[in-house]
Amino acid sequence: MLRCVERRGAVADMDEHAEERLLALESVWYEIIEAVTAGRTSGLVCPECNSPDGLLVEERQGRTVVSCPACKREVEVGIASA
């Protein structure tokens, strides 16, 4: 599961175009999501800007958030627990 975190507040209703953009974003971030879900958090490169600074993986209020310090993109990764 991927959820784009908006800095300006959450969008109340997701229109069809927003859903398509979210699916495209999920496609771009698929390998990162899989790596984080599997516990691999080092050496990750932003799939959008390819910054050499890498990605930050943090736990925030019980949620896993992956962020790029260069392009400021943040995604929330849903990690299932048994």
pLDDT tens string 32-43 = 989 998 999 999
Element (H, E) at 30: helix 30-37
Kindly tell me if the per-residue pLDDT of 30 is higher than 80: yes
Q: Is 82 part of any domain?
A: no
Spatial strand order of the sheet with 63-67 comes to 2-4, 74-77, 63-67, 56-60
Which pTM does this prediction carry?
A: 0.66
How confident is the model over 18-41, as a mean pLDDT?
Answer: 84
Kindly tell me if the per-residue pLDDT of 8 is higher than 50: no
Two structure tokens written together for 28: 């771009």
- Give me the number of domains the chain comprises: 1
Which residues span the domain enclosing 10? 2-77
